[in-house]
Amino acid sequence: MPSRLRRHDEHGHTHFLTISCYRRLQFFRHDSVKQSFVDGMRRTRDKLAVRWIGFVVMPEHVHLLFFPQPPSSDTTIPVSAVLQHLKQYVGRCGKEALRDVWRAHRGLGSWALDAWAKGDGAKPFWKTRAYDFNVTTQETLLTKLDYVHKNPITRGLVDRAEDWIWSSYRYYGSGDDSLIRMDWDGNWPIV
């Protein structure tokens, strides 16, 4: 593994992840595929007891903030385990959601996605690697969370963060946990 891609599973660190779709294809342009990602977050939390702090699902990538320690535990869950569980589930269920879209519309809504769907052989869903950044201060955590929530505005998808339902903004802004509950109460350090 190249040194610049090394993960640092440090006890007490929060992680900021960026996971991109294969060839930056916009698999998440369909709500059913976005929902498969949220379901994957839920299943990963249930299996590994990871604590989600923030997220956003964009058309071709996702950003996640998480704390890899179960509540009241000194055990650190390796980032690789979180990524493996989440990416496998979402890759499998996301492809199924894309197949449903294909059957309903005879296409996925763009020439690039249609070419991927019609291609021979394996159809990867995720880019192999993910970008991982260790967060060690509350200031950095709040900066990253703000970045996550503003990403749909920056990309011109919505005018206000609360209008993009596929993020943790509504949870923090109005306590809306109908999509998925976050596991951070705002205290620092996270314990």
Per-residue pLDDT tens digits of the chain, which is 191 residues long? 445 556 688 888 999 999 999 999 999 999 999 999 999 999 999 999 999 999 999 999 999 999 999 998 889 999 999 999 999 999 999 999 999 999 999 999 999 999 999 987 789 999 999 999 999 999 999 999 999 999 999 999 999 999 999 999 999 999 999 999 999 999 999 98
What pLDDT score was predicted for residue 11? 84
What pLDDT score was predicted for residue 1? 41
What pLDDT score was predicted for residue 12? 87
- Topology of domain 10-174, per CATH? Alpha-Beta Plaits (3.30.70)
Q: Provide CB contacts within 8 A for 75, sequence distance 6+.
A: 69
What pLDDT score was predicted for residue 87? 97
Tokens of 75: 């055990």
Tokens of 120: 């021979």
Tokens of 49: 């007891």
- Residue ranges of the domains in the chain? 10-174
What pLDDT score was predicted for residue 168? 98
What pLDDT score was predicted for residue 120? 78
DSSP reduced 3-state for 115: helix
Q: What does each C-alpha distance from 120 to 60, 90, 103, 117, 140 come to in angstroms?
A: 22, 21, 18, 8, 44
Cα gap 161→9, rounded to integer Å: 31
Instruction: Yes or no: say if 73 and 49 are a contact pair by the CB < 8 Å rule.
Output: yes
